[in-house]
Amino acid sequence: MVEPTSSQHPDYRLAAAGRESAEDERLDLLEQIYDPSSRRRRSFVQPRWRCLEVGAGRGSMAVWLAEQVGPTGRVVATDIDTRYLTRLDVPNLEVIRHSILDDPLDLLGEPFDLVCSRLMLFHLKGVQEQAIRRMVECLRPGGWLFDEDCDWGTAAPVDPAHPCYDDYQRVWRDGDWWTSRGYDKVFGQKLPALFERCGLQELRNEASTEVVRGGSPWARWWIPTLEVINELDGADEASRRGVEVMTAALADPTFWLEREVLHACWGRRAL
Ligand SMILES: C[S@@+](CC[C@H](N)C(=O)[O-])C[C@H]1O[C@@H](n2cnc3c(N)ncnc32)[C@H](O)[C@@H]1O
């Protein structure tokens, strides 16, 4: 592994420090939920490509990319926190501790055929375009940028007749739970416009969602995600009670929700 160069990262809110094993479990569930569609959408990856996975987390998609590019290809996985990535031992996968916002890009080596990220940009409040521009700089001419990020504000209960519906919405406020914490609750849908502003071409966007019940893997993942975000924002008693209200509903299998809208966006650097 290449040694640390990163500075402090006030931009990222879900940092694992102090809650390492809880974050490991949360990221594990995240991978189980999101990997199947991410693999399908990245199926255009070719043997021998050089790929960069930015904000790779626990690294399941970086490992998958390493399998796709084969022994003559190469994958670089970066994160500001590489504690989970350093457990991986894959010959054509290199792990580099690196912030896409702050650290020199030449640390990552030759330009890439494909640069990917997933569920990272949303958290980089106000500096998403800066991060995208830097990812574009990592591409060779004609290389692809691929990102998956969400409109998290759209994750909402669907059945007003359910006894938990009104209480949940009182806390959730149609997703303004995020807005009041300074996040853009519909960030994902802005990806094509941001990609275009950053000079990418041949843009494509695919959006998906799903209706799931309380107690499902998604709901079990969503509960700690809300709890952690709430704590990071200096929780008070009222906001903790709010999260408890949502948690109770999210554990109830008769409570149905429409998930976030997940936007996958592709764009190509000019030749
Ligand atoms: C929600 S996790 C998603 C992890 C992984 N992309 C996945 O989908 O399985 C976001 C990741 O982005 C990383 N991250 C946050 N800010 C970053 C930055 N400036 N540069 C690189 N990685 C960053 C975090 O440490 C975290 O591992």
Match 């916002």 to its residue by tokens. Answer: 101
> Is 11 part of a structural domain of the chain?
no
Residue 221 has pLDDT above 60, yes or no: yes
81 CA: nearest ligand 1 atom: 25
Residue 8 has pLDDT above 50, yes or no: no
* CB neighbourhood size of 265 (10 A): 26
pLDDT at site 77: 98
Within a domain: residue 31? yes
pLDDT at 12: 61
Give every CB contact of residue 236 below 8 A, 6+ residues apart in sequence: none
Cα of 87 vs centre of ligand 1, distance in Å, is 16
84 in Cβ contact with 27 (< 8 Å): yes
Q: Which atom of ligand 1 is nearest to the CA of 79?
A: 22
φ/ψ bin of 259: left (φ > 0), alpha (ψ from -120 to 50), beta (otherwise): beta
Q: What are phi and psi of 101, to 5 degrees?
A: -85, -35
Residue at 9 is within a domain = no
Span of 21-35, 61-75, 196-210 with lowest mean pLDDT: 21-35
| Structure letter (DSSP) for residue 2 | B
- Asked whether residue 184 is domain-assigned, the answer is yes
Cβ of 101 less than 6 Å from ligand 1? yes
CATH of the domain at 31: 3.40.50.150
The residue whose CB lies within 8 Å of the most ligand 1 atoms, and thus the one to mutate among 58, 120, 149, 221, is: 120
Output the six-digit token pair for 246: 């949502």
Residue closest via CA to ligand 1's atom 27 equals 57
φ and ψ of 110, to 5 deg: -55, 155
pLDDT at 16: 64
Tokens of 163: 């006894």
Domain tally, the chain: 1
Nearest protein Cα to ligand 1, atom 14: 55
Domain range enclosing 246: 20-268
pLDDT beyond 90 at 200? yes
Using the predicted structure, report yes or no on whether residue 14 has a pLDDT greater than 80: no
Q: Is the CB of 260 under 6 A from ligand 1?
A: no
Residue 5 lies in a domain: no
What is the CB-side half-sphere exposure of residue 99 using CA atoms within 13 A? 16
Q: Give yes or no for residue 100 CB within 6 A of ligand 1.
A: yes
Is 213 within a domain? yes
Mean pLDDT for 80-100 is 97
User: Distance (Å, rounded) from C-alpha 56 to C-alpha 61?
Assistant: 7
The yes-or-no verdict on residue 169 having pLDDT over 50 is yes
- Count CA within 13 A, CB hemisphere, residue 180: 12
The torsion region of residue 107 among left (phi > 0), alpha (psi -120 to 50) and beta comes to: alpha
CB contact set of 52 (below 8 Å; sequence gap of 6+)? 75, 76, 77, 78, 108, 112, 114, 115, 116, 135, 138
pLDDT at 233 over 90: no
Q: How confident is residue 118, by pLDDT bands cut at 50, 70 and 90?
A: very high
Report if residue 4 sits inside a domain. no
Answer yes or no: is the C-beta of 31 below 6 A from any ligand 1 atom: yes
Buried b (16+ CB within 10 A) or exposed e, 181-213: bebbbbbbbbbbebbeebebeeeeeeeeeeebe
Q: Mean per-residue pLDDT for 41-54?
A: 98
Ligand 1 centroid from CA 55, angstroms: 3
Looking at residue 234, what is its pLDDT? 77
Q: Do 66 and 93 contact (CB within 8 A), yes or no? A: yes
Domain-embedded: residue 8: no
Phi and psi at 91, nearest 5°, equal -60, -40
Q: How far is the CA of 258 from the centre of ligand 1 (A)?
A: 24
